[in-house]
Structure 1
Amino acid sequence: MTAPGPDASQLTKWEDAFQHPIPAVRALERQLQTELAANKEKLRGLVGFSYRDLLRTAERIVEMDRDAQQVESCLAETSRTCSSRLLERKARNLRMFEERVGAEDREKYVFAAQLAVLGSCPSVVSRLLQRDENGENCLLATKVFVVLRLLLKSLLLKGPSVPLLESLKHQRTTLTAHLTTHIDHHLSTPTAPHLTTVLTSYSLLKTSPPSDVLRHFLHIRSSAISTLLHTAERTPNAALAAMALYNHTLAHADAHFPKRLSDALILLKSRPLFADPALAPELGLDTHAPWLPDELAGFVPWVRHDDLERARVAELAGAWAVRELLLLNEGVERTLAGMGDLAEVMGLRVELLGLWAAGERARRPFAGRDGLEEGRQRERLREMVGARVAEVVRGKSEKLVEVGERIREELEGVGALEDSTSLWDPVLLTIPLTSGGALFKESVQSRVHGKDSAIKSFRATYDAFLADIAATTAILHSLRSSPSQTTTTGTGTDDADDDFEAEEQRAQEALEDSLIAETELRTALDAAYRALEAALDRLVDSATTTSPTSSTTTSTSTTTATRRTTFLLRTIRQIRQHPTPQLPLPWFCSAQLPRLHTAVAAHVGRGPLDTVATLLRRRRWSGVLASRALWEGAPALPVQPSPLVFKFLLDLVQAMHVAGDDVWTPAAVRGVKVLACQELWGAVEGVVVGREVADVGVGGEGGKEEKEGEGGEEAGGGEKTLGGEGHVDGDEGEKAEEKKVVGEEATNEDARVIGRDWAVQLLFDALYLDEALQRKGANARNSGILSLAGKIEATLGFDEELRRRLEGCAREYWKRTCLLFGLLS
């Protein structure tokens, strides 16, 4: 293994290098040459970088040497040409001259200098205050005012008063008030950038220690907050500005007292007032300062700066915070009381809670006092806003009273309105079909659903109410996603965690307040709809108290009563079909609807029922049945109802159409059917019960009866006049019958006997009416008509086959004719 070469750093003299073998010596040589070359390059680089600096330094040294030589030559020439003893003698003579010659005029010069400085002070103070927008020049203006006060006092004490001094005394009073107002204005500004300067100005002006300055500062801020809260408008912005000023006041009290203000006062007392560099150009002190007396030139403002400690600041500011917080809450309550827009109330809530959260750090040094707990005041703000929100939503719900008033107003005039629900009104032909026939479609839909002018007027008011409630609901729901208004920021991890927790708390509070407000809205809506139901109940009572009777009711009054009843039915239906999203209304007017259905059924069915009752009483039951020839089968049985029954159903359906097709819900139709069954049963029972069934012949006495029947209602000619299946005009037949029958009294035999054919026909009519009026009803088995049919059937002695055959004929004929009576089928 080859031994390592020698290390050049270990060699002490050159002879030691040659003690090694020749290859090692050569390697050592190459190593030394390499290191030498590297060091040479490094040195060359260093010299190259600093060469220019060395040249500039050398040039500067040469210039300095040349300048020094010139100075030395000038000094040598000056000392050679000037005599120091001569200069000292001239200076001594000058002082002697001034003492002997100028002593008499010095007092005049001093007085003139003071008066000149004093005369310029008012204008300087006014100019500085006019230009002072942010409080930067406030301290300088105060210093000038102190100079004015000092010089004026000095001049007034030394000699008699002159008019100029009297004028300056009045100006001093005015400037005092002006300067005090100016300082108070800046103290009341929330974001004063030079607040320390303004506080120092007040301390200098009033010679007040920091404790008095703090009291005055809190008093000014209290007055500013009261001014904001007691404005005539009481706008939300004023309440927000008051809370922001409250937060800023506590932040300023914590930041400026006592450290900053004490430092500023110490700096103010660190030098004489007239030595302030800022005063010299304003008052011309460069010219007048040498003539000022020493006691004035050396004046130093004396203001105590060490009478306020941190604990005292916390005590004074904390007590102020508690008092102002009570006033602030009262002002917020008054502001909320004057707000009726729910969106503004909710916006104010977000702003208030955001401002309160933003001022948490400012209130933290004073949070130990009673009344300044963060959570307690936050709950108080939420309670105030929540109470006002509840009042607003109750007020919006109470607007449903306007809907009730609109219904009452329209109900009074609904009888005078023309019928606008007919689909065959020629007015529809005049409606243009432009824009896809939208107007025509709307008119048809309005007529189908009974939306006349009264209903449209009611719907306009009700739709406005629904829109208002929908907007209110959207505002309450949007509270859950309201953005945070907190302006506090943090840079540390703890601050980030606190902000995150505070954000979660605010989201939870917003959710709770929203749910509470929505619950209050539902409660208020329920109460409002209950009140509307009570109002409608009174209207229903007034519309249904007078039942129509044949003897006391005219056609006009019946029409008016029908329209009033149908109007109430339509309004209640509209309200039930269009409830608010918060409150379903299956219960609304559920007790009034059956009464209205009964009333409209009574109004609609009264005319046809009176007619059929009259005709039944005037019918000749002992005569020959003219429609006997149309019977079919063996034995022959009727296959179609009598014209009287057919006409009754047609008149009833026509009256229902006139009232409005949209009115006839299943409940209303059941009411009509029940009423018709009861009235028909009573009418037929009063005429037929107690008669004996007898066969009526064709010749002899039968011919006489047939002849008499021809003058009757339904027999002979009367039956033919009605036109077989009842297709002849009912009014003309009725008039003819009245002319023939009026004044004619039935014979004793006619009052005791009913023809067998009439009885069979009456049985078929009863079965047919049962198909039309009761078969689909809930009380079909308890039908009065069906019980009447059973009695007739028993009297006639029908067997089971004939009964079934007759029922089948009645059912089949109803199937063929039910479409003629669509509302009943």
Structure 2
Amino acid sequence: MATETPDPQNLKSWKDAFQHPIPTVRKVEQELRRDIASNREKLRSLVGARYRELLETAETIVEMNTENQEVETKLAGLGLRCNADLIGKRQDYLADGNNDNNCRALAAQLALLHRCTTIIGRLLRKHKPLLLASKLVIISRQLYKALSQHANAPPFVEVLSSQLVNLQKTIRRRIERRLGSGNSSMEDIVDAMSAFRLSNSSSVLDIINRFHNFRLDSIVKQLEHRPRSREGILKALNLYIQTLQNTKTLSSRRLSDALAKLQGQPLLADHDILNLGDLDLDIFGRWVTNDVQNFTPWIKSDNFTKQSAEQLTKKWSKEAFNRFLEKSSAVLQDFDDFEDVLSLRKETLEIWLAAAPATITHSSVSVLEGIRDIFKMRLKSIIRNQANQLVSIGDTVKTHIDQWVSGDINQMQSLWDSSITSLEYSDGAVNFKKVVVNTFYGRDLKIMATLELYDSWLELIERSRSSIDDLRHTRWEDTLDEGEDDSKLEMNPIALLNEDDPHLLQEEQVNTIKQAFLELQKTFRAAAEASGDSDQSGKSAFLLRLIREVRRNSPSKILEDESLDFAQDTVPVLHEVLVNEILAHVPPSNIFPVPKKNTLRLPGRTLWDGAPELPNQPLPSTFRYFRRLVIAMENFGPDLWTPPAVKILKERLNKAVTESLSKNFERLHDYSHEKIDKEEDNEKKNSSDEESTNGTAKSNADDSKPQDVRDWKIQLALDAFYFRDALSVVSEKNDLLDSFIEKIQVDVEDGNSIVGRLQEAAHDFWKRTELLFGLLAN
């Protein structure tokens, strides 16, 4: 059931109205306002628009009538008392009593001065209004001035004067503290300003200037006395905004009206002074000199207008905000956590955006830009510091290389080692899988320690990236005052805060991370060049594995689609070191057995088949060399033999194999020419038909050696085809082996498609055996 609205005329007090629900109270208020408006119109219709002037005129007539009656009564009394003898006797009596009056006046003023100082101290101890204490100070100063001119003034006057000086200093400090405090209400500020005016006889502009100075000092103190404190920045900004809003209120004649009241009547007639019963003004007041009784404060006049107040506010706003930015930037230097700075930035901007529409400043745009700039500078600095932490990883790598002990990287552990196969498989075999992966990728203690630093760095910059991305989704609309006109902000802050700032921070992070990787790349390059002569292969393997991990775990979300060719120039150098070490362990110069002049019989000749007979597999030494080569590569670590590394190895082998093939081919070619010359000499020497049977047998024995030379050439041709399949790479350096193959084809081809059969046999044998040499296979 709805509550009935009570009749306002039946309410005995305002408290009775608030016993009802709020909607009922609002209805009562509306009825009262309607009644007031109706009564006002009725009065105006009865007495006219000059009703107020009529009342004042009536009161003036009544007062004049009363004063006339008093004057007439006094004049009648004076006429009755105008007796010459009586006046003479009165003068003699007054001359004798003047001395007594002077003593009483001195005692009364001294007592009043003492009571003033006592009451002032009590007011200060109880934190009473400073204006009342200042009024008592002014009265005390006037009393001291009158007493100091008295010939019989006691020394106690100077004691009271010293106390008064100390009290004045205390009041001045209280005024400064109250004007500088952000917890002071407008009543406290006006009271303190009025007290300040009584102490200094300043104008309104002077008082507001001092108020601004006090507040500026407080803003600076908030930031200087609170190092590493987010509250310092927030309180300083709140104090800055509150000062501007207080100045706006003070300039709306509130301060001027309060100061005008001070000179409306003498201080001893002030209502607040009269209410101080401890002063006993009704006793001591009549003994006070006229100068003290009639003393009225004087206010220095100035042209304080709304326009001058606005100019004064903007001038202070610019100066104070610049100091705020300067000190806040210094405070932010102590913040190293990216998320903390972003959180403080959000709180600071929320404070300003909520107050900006109702605050007069030198420029709302400058304030917003200033706040954004100090936080952007610090955030960019933190981003650079985070990116530069990657340099510490480079320093760790350099330390490992400088302190390298030969044999630090031992032979690769087999995945089938008993220490691995005997691991527990419980809980999803997490530990087992981790050990297998680390073993396969050659991650020893040094690499694991370095990767731990790198992973921590990745996690750090990823958190920063995520925080930057969150800036785009911050809802500033809830902070802006919907009741105010957004045009007062002179710009759209949401676009700046949600688009421009994240873009600038992201761009800074991408650039600094790229630069950090370039510096790390230089460190790896320097470490590779300074590896020295001892255990170069071990150091190269260490660097290659780290480079691979960096490439695999690069901050792809930060760099987005931009490629990171990390250590692109260093990796080939390290691969060259590995290849040199491999070829030193398995030299390619011993691939083919050297054909001897007296023993040209080809190994495996009996396995040839077909018509004409041709080999179907390479020399056993070729197969054994590939097997030794792959074992040596596995011992260094199969994870190191990436396609670029294998390509370099194949190119080196291509050249070495071509040289060995060419050398053997030339040797066979020389054997063939020697045999031809020898046959021609034998023909000249044995031209008769009576050649002996032994001579014929010897000639037949020599005829078999040219066939052995040809067999060797055919076998070398098949081995050359086999090597070309095994070492096939897309490179200009492969032309050396192709050139040799073209050369030997001309020598062995006899029109029976021997070369085609050899090439097919070599290709088929490589297809059957390439899985045995997996590290070399494409």
Seen in structure 2, the aligned counterparts of structure 1 residues 108 and 764 have a Cα distance that, compared at 3 Å, is same
Provide the alpha-carbon RMSD of the alignment.
Answer: 4.0
Match of 1:567 in 2: 542
Deviations 1:739-790 (A, max 9, x none): xxxxxxxxxx9x999655444444443333333223xx33599564555455
**1:599-678 residue pairs with structure 2 within 5 A?**
599-610=577-588, 612=590, 616-617=593-594, 622-625=599-602, 627-633=604-610, 635-678=612-655
- Please say if residues 179 and 211 of structure 2, whose CA atoms lie closer than 8 Å, have aligned partners that are also in contact: yes
**Residue 515 of structure 1: which of 503, 521, 533 is its match?**
503
Is the CA contact (8 Å cut-off) linking 1:625 and 1:757 kept in structure 2? yes
The match for 1:588 among 547, 556, 566 is 566
State how far apart, in whole Å, the 1-side matches of 2:284 and 2:663 are.
138
Other-structure match for 1:302? 297
CA deviations 1:102-147 (Å, max 9, x no partner) are 9997766655554444334444323322332xxx522222233334
How much has 1:181 moved relative to structure 2?
Answer: 0.5
Q: Does the 8 Å CA contact 2:589/2:657 hold for their aligned counterparts?
A: no
Q: Which residue of 1 aligns with 2:527?
A: 539
Instruction: Mark the runs of 5 or more structure 2 residues left unpaired by the alignment.
Output: 1-9, 11-89, 673-702
Could you say which residue in structure 1 is the equivalent of 2:719?
A: 765
How far the C-alpha of 1:208 sits from its partner, in A, is 3.1
Residue matched to 1:126: 121
2:449 aligns with: 457
Deviation at 1:654, TM superposition (A): 0.7
Deviations 1:195-249 (A, max 9, x none): 1111111112333343332232233223333434555837554344334333322
SS at match of 1:158: coil
Is 1:214–2:204 an aligned residue pair?
no
Comparing 184-193 and 249-258, the one that deviates more: 249-258
For 1:201-600, list aligned pairs within 5 A: 201-231=195-225, 233=227, 237-257=231-251, 259-276=253-270, 278-279=272-273, 284-286=278-280, 289=283, 292-295=286-289, 298-304=293-299, 307-310=302-305, 311-336=307-332, 339-361=335-357, 363-364=359-360, 372-412=362-402, 413=404, 415=406, 416-419=408-411, 421-429=413-421, 431-484=423-476, 489=481, 491=483, 495-496=484-485, 498=487, 504-542=492-530, 557=534, 560-580=535-555, 581-583=557-559, 584-600=562-578
Aligned residues of 1:690 and 1:752 also touching (Cα < 8 A): no
Q: Closer, same or farther in 2 for the Cα pair 1:242/1:619, shift >3 Å?
A: farther
Stretches of structure 1 that go unaligned for 5 or more consecutive residues are 1-49, 51-95, 547-556, 696-748
Alpha-carbon separation, structure 2, partners of 1:393 and 1:577: 22
Counterpart mapping for 1:727-806 below 5 A: 755-774=709-728, 777-778=729-730, 782=734, 784-785=736-737, 787-789=739-741, 791-792=743-744, 794-806=746-758
In the TM superposition, what is the alpha-carbon distance from 1:284 to its structure 2 partner? Answer: 1.5
Q: Which amino acid aligns with 1:622?
A: T
Q: Does 1:816 align with 2:756?
A: no
Q: Calculate the TM-score normalised by the size of structure 2.
A: 0.73
Q: Is the alpha carbon distance of 1:168 and 1:486 closer, same or farther for their aligned partners in structure 2, counting shifts above 3 Å?
A: farther
CA contact (8 A) 1:623 1:755 kept: yes
Aligned pair count? 647
Distance in 1 of aligned mates of 2:125 and 2:284: 30
1:42 corresponds in structure 2 to: none
Q: Residues 181, 483 of structure 1: CA spacing in aligned structure 2 closer, same or farther, 3 A cutoff?
A: farther
- Taking the aligned partners of 1:781 and 1:419, their CA distance within structure 2 comes to 32
The one-letter amino acid paired with 1:578 is N
- TM-superposed CA distance for 1:459, in Å, is 1.8
Tell me the amino acid that sits aligned with residue 681 of structure 1.
T
For the Cα contact (< 8 Å) 1:406–1:461, is it kept in 2? no
Inter-partner Cα distance in structure 2 for 1:332 and 1:805: 85
Q: How far apart are the structure 2 equivalents of 1:317 and 1:779? A: 77
How far the C-alpha of 1:465 sits from its partner, in A, is: 2.5
Separation in structure 2 between the aligned mates of residue 772 and residue 423 of structure 1, nearest angstrom? 27
Q: How far did 1:180 drift?
A: 0.4
Identity level (%):
26
The residue correspondences of 1:13-52 to structure 2 (distance < 5 A) are none
Shift of 1:402: 2.2
Answer whether contact 1:110 1:293 (CA < 8 A) is retained: yes
Task: Please give the secondary structure, in 1, of the residue aligned with 2:181.
Answer: coil
* Alignment partners' CA distance in 1, 2:549 and 2:542: 11
How far apart, in 1, do the equivalents of 2:355 and 2:773 lie?
78
Q: Which residue of 1 aligns with 2:132?
A: 140
CA contact (8 A) 2:412 2:634 kept: no
Q: Using a 3 Å threshold, how does the CA distance of structure 1 residues 815 and 171 change in structure 2: closer, same or farther?
A: same
Give the Cα–Cα distance (whole angstroms) in 2 for the partners of residues 399 and 780 of structure 1. 42
Q: State the 1:504 CA deviation.
A: 4.3
Q: 1:681 to 1:299 in 2, by over 3 A?
A: same
Q: Distance in 2 between matches of 1:422 and 1:160?
A: 115
Tell me the amino acid that sits aligned with residue 769 of structure 1: F
For residue 465 of structure 2, give the secondary structure of its aligned residue in structure 1. helix
Q: Deviations over 1:554-592 (max 9, x none)?
A: xxx5xx222222223222222222222232334333343
Task: Say which is worse superposed, 600-609 or 334-343, in terms of deviation.
Answer: 334-343
Cα 1:694/1:611, change in 2 over 3 Å: closer
Counterpart amino acid of 1:566? A
Contact 1:113 1:288 (8 Å CA) reproduced:
no
Q: 1:443 Cα deviation (Å)? A: 0.9
State the AA in 2 paired with 1:157.
Q
DSSP-derived class of the 1:778 partner: coil
1:609–1:679 CA contact under 8 A, matched in 2: no
Residue type at the aligned position of 1:627: G
CA-CA distance at 1:470 after TM superposition: 1.6
1:390–1:429 Cα change, 3 Å = same
1:223–1:808: structure 2 CA closer, same or farther, 3 Å change rule? closer
Aligned equivalents of 1:117, 1:780: Cα separation in 2: 115
Question: Does the 8 Å contact 1:693/1:759 carry over to 2?
Answer: no
For 1:582 and 1:337, locate their aligned partners in 2 and report how far apart those are by CA, in whole Å.
Answer: 25
Q: How does 1:48-63 map to 2 (within 5 A)?
A: none
Deviations 1:8-63 (A, max 9, x none): xxxxxxxxxxxxxxxxxxxxxxxxxxxxxxxxxxxxxxxxxx9xxxxxxxxxxxxx
Please give the per-residue CA displacement for 1:51-95, whole angstroms capped at 9, x wherever unaligned.
xxxxxxxxxxxxxxxxxxxxxxxxxxxxxxxxxxxxxxxxxxxxx
Summarize the Cα distance change of 1:490–1:515 in structure 2 as closer, same or farther, 3 Å threshold: closer
Distance 1:313 1:694 in 2: 115
